[in-house]
Chain A
Amino acid sequence: MAKRIEASNVSSYYGSFKAIDSVSMAVEPKTITALIGPSGCGKSTFLRSINRMHEVLPNARIEGRLTIDDQNIYDPDVDVTAVRRMIGMVFQRPNPFPTMSIYENAVAGLKLNGVKKKAVLDEAAEKSLRSANLWDEVKDRLDRPGAGLSGGQQQRLCIARTIAVEPQVVLMDEPCSALDPISTLAIEDLMFKLKDRFTIIIVTHNMQQAARVSDKTGFFSIDKTGDPGRLIEYDDTQKIFSNPTQKKTEDYITGRFG
């Protein structure tokens, strides 16, 4: 499991508006990569381009090349649903299906892919909820509504739902921005654990979080509103936070900008 993601000269558009300009980066398997930068700099757009969720929005498209283990993600022959199964996504706000129980949420992805055997589903539910550090908290109430959990628990349920289909890559779009510090810590612990099995790319506004969890960090920025976002610097997290090459990165890290 866990594959390599490579972007070369990726530009994403919303209609005629260019949201990111010519981003190139390679993400190695079983690492955590953090994308940081000011609001509106295109880091979420880039993240959504990786699993083709970008194109769900009307008139959204990309240019350039994105590959997973050298396979072109945007090949016209590629099944987009297969891409999204391979590259899972956790969203900013916890979004368990409101009509489903905890159990049903955890196995929703499997059911979508035609798994029907109860034994398989039961096993997958327990495995993914354990992996998401949620099992002990919910094992006695699996039939209760998933939306009845606390925010942090809901987000871990969403992570369980994402990893239950055994993807290669997990994308996280500001997964902790709606959570309290304790829940945030729980999710960060979880990310370290998941790193053994998945390639993780996380967008975050929290620089301490990026410094704590990631192996590599990419810094995105824009010159002014309306301009496309660019990848300013991409390097080992330690280097970015201790000795960045670019002046802009340094300004952002030290809080002088953005």
Chain B
Amino acid sequence: MGDNPSRSVNATAGDLGVTNNGHAQGAGSGMSPSSFEPPLGGGGALPKKTRFSMETGFRGLSTAAGSMVLVIIVAIAVFLVSKAVPALQDNTANFLTEKTWFPNDTEPVFGIAALAFGTLLSSVIALIIAVPIALAIALFLSHYAPKRLATPLGFVIDLLAAVPSVVFGLWGRDVLQQPVREFSVWLNHYFGWLPIFGGEGPFGQSIMLGGLVLAIMVLPIVTSLSREVFQQTPGMNEEAALALGATRWEMIRTAVVPYGKPGVIAAVMLGLGRALGETIALALTLGITFNISFNLIQNGGNSIAANIANTFGEANSTGRGALIASGLVLFAITLVVNMTARAIIYRRREFRDSAA
């Protein structure tokens, strides 16, 4: 501290200064005695800054929280890799191209090919079904429905997101399976010449059933995020389109959809993320086979997450390592999906940012 006056000395000096001011003003304007308090702007010499304050503490706290994320991610990665590598070393087949899954045998044979394929196929089917419906609902809620209808309807859709996935799985297995089977037989009869609808049966517990259940689960996420994005379209842009002679639909195409596009892509990717990682609903609805086929209606299909749920119980240590390795592949797939989405969103960032 040395020759610097202490904080309390400064404060006193400030008080004195203000008191004098107060008297001087009081004479002229009849100010109340409460003006003896120093004003927030301060009087007298500049006080020193505090060395340890809430500011320092909070900065440390938030930095620690931020670093924690990195530590957790690294710890998970280290754990997964350390479990997966020994199992992969014991594998007698090529992990990336092998379709079957016998990691518990004395000579373990397992590969990710069929599982990864099934994961992607069921998710893509789900998105093909869900995204158009979700966007239509979102536009209806944001731009067509009267407010009295839009608010409760949006609430119901959000409720759909709160239904546990095991309920969706059981419902798909017990209720949806029969109509899907009948529809599959019909498709097979009339469109059997298409490879995706071919086959001899049995039908029902198929990629189509799994994809349908996934679609219903993805729908609320995509709908409510897209709706939010569409609602954020600046009113003045909508008016600009209307003033140019656009109909409501043309206004949506000119102003609303282009403005919401990055947000919609993000919503779809989040939905895809949910579909890729979905476990129990697919474990309950798919036919569980280990082959690569584009056939949508025959019993069959499998996914990485469903396989983990189905086989973890009887897995030995190599088996568990193999499942963890498959989990790493799933993680890699979601990572690629997310990065692609970000790349798409950032490509037109210039247009979005300059709009602000």
Contacts and interface: CB of A to CB of B under 8 A. Distances in A.
Interface of A: 51, 53, 56, 81-85, 88-89, 91, 93, 95-100, 108-109, 111-113, 145, 147-148, 158, 161-162, 165
Interface in B323-356: 348, 350-352, 354-355
Interface in B214-266: 234, 236-237, 239-247, 250, 254-255, 258-259, 261
A18 B352 CA distance: 39
Contacts of B348: 99
A97 B240 contact: yes
Contact of B244 (A56, A93, A112, A145): A112
- Nearest 8 interchain pairs by C-beta: A98-B355, A85-B245, A99-B258, A109-B244, A89-B243, A95-B236, A148-B354, A81-B245
Contacts of A148: 350, 354
A147 B245 contact: no
Given A109-B245, A147-B354, A95 B239 contact: yes
Contacts, number: 82
A136 B239 CA distance: 28
14 contacts: A53-B242, A81-B245, A82-B245, A88-B243, A88-B244, A91-B236, A95-B239, A98-B352, A99-B352, A99-B355, A108-B254, A112-B244, A147-B355, A162-B244
A165 B244 contact: yes
Given A91-B239, A96-B240, A147-B354, 4 more contacts: A56-B239, A108-B244, A111-B254, A161-B244
A255 B240 CA distance: 34
A98 to B, nearest CB: 3
Interface of B: 234, 236-237, 239-247, 250, 254-255, 258-259, 261, 348, 350-352, 354-355
Nearest to B246: A112
Nearest to B261: A99
A112 B241 contact: yes
A202 to B, nearest CB: 15
Contact of B258 (A91, A100, A162): A100
A84 B245 contact: yes
A162 B243 CA distance: 8
Contacts of B244: 84-85, 88, 108-109, 112, 161-162, 165
Given A91-B236, A108-B254, A99 B245 contact: no
Contact of A145 (B237, B240, B241, B354): B354
B251 to A, nearest CB: 9
Contacts of A111: 254
A55 to B, nearest CB: 10
A191 to B, nearest CB: 18
Given A100-B258, A145-B354, A148-B354, A81 B246 contact: yes
Given A145-B351, A147-B355, A97 B242 contact: no
Most buried by B among A85, A95, A165: A95
Contacts of B237: 95, 97-98
Nearest to B146: A58
B258 A97 contact: yes
B208 to A, nearest CB: 36
B350 A145 contact: yes
Given A98-B259, A99-B258, A93 B242 contact: no
A84 B238 CA distance: 14
B354 A98 contact: yes
A95 B259 CA distance: 13
B344 to A, nearest CB: 14
